[in-house]
Structure 1
């Protein structure tokens, strides 16, 4: 049986293979994609949020990513484990298929593996940047600095 770290490395090498995903993801696994629940972001990236449907959440997420973007690069920079937990840090470069906009984003993963099966997986990235590859008009007016003024993005 693979260690938790080896299981996650195997998963990352096979994210587009439903048979592999089904074989290493627990049937009740939780997949948290980018946020817990953000309906606005889900309009742009439909797979986001918390999924409790085992391998289906993983398969749907990676199918969606591959349908919405072409992937130029996905680089794991650091990966380490402690017990059942595996942490992964890296970056990726994607180009949106609709607008041909490229983005490079850092990512992080916290995964939990027991008995060779992934039962928890949280994937984080710069969603402002990645969702921006689908932006047709300005993002809007913002006012973040309490001492500053509004600005357009």
Structure 2
């Protein structure tokens, strides 16, 4: 019997293999990709948001990632497990297929596994950086510092 950590490691080694994904993801699993619900981000990354469709949400997300970017590197730096919970930290380097812009981002995952099936999975990354790999024009004008002035990216 696989531990929750081993289940997540198997999934991460096979994110483009639908058969493996279907074998390790619960049919009612929730996948939270980058945020809970952000239509603006979804217009750039269609798989962003909360998905309740089991393995299909995982398959569609990783198919989209592989369609939008060429993956140069995906490195797990640390993985921890306590009971059903698994935390994963690492980094990846992708190049956008449309603009050929390369980006490196940290990522984190919180997963929950029961009986060798993933039933909860939250993936977070630097979305300003990753969406920037598709940016043609400046991002816009910002004013974040209450004591500062506006600036453009």
The TM-score range, normalised by the shorter chain, is over 0.9
How many residue pairs end up in the alignment? 153
2:105 pairs with 1:118: no
Mapping for residues 18-57 of structure 1, pairs under 5 Å: 18-57=18-57
| Matching residue of 2:75 | 75
- Please provide the CA RMSD for this pair: 0.3
- Post-superposition CA distance 1:23-51 (Å, at most 9, x none): 11000000000000000000000000000
Q: TM-score, normalised by structure 1?
A: 1.00
| Matching residue of 1:4 | 4
Provide the secondary structure at the position in 1 that maps to 2:123: strand
| Matching residue of 1:152 | 152
- Post-superposition CA distance 1:101-129 (Å, at most 9, x none): 00000000000000000000000000000
Q: Which structure 2 residue ranges, 5 or more long, are not aligned? A: none
- Post-superposition CA distance 1:61-87 (Å, at most 9, x none): 000000000000000000010000000
Deviation at 1:59, TM superposition (A): 0.1
CA distance in 1, matches of 2:37, 2:80: 28
Runs of 4+ with >2 A deviation: none
| Matching residue of 2:62 | 62
Q: TM-score, normalised by structure 2?
A: 1.00
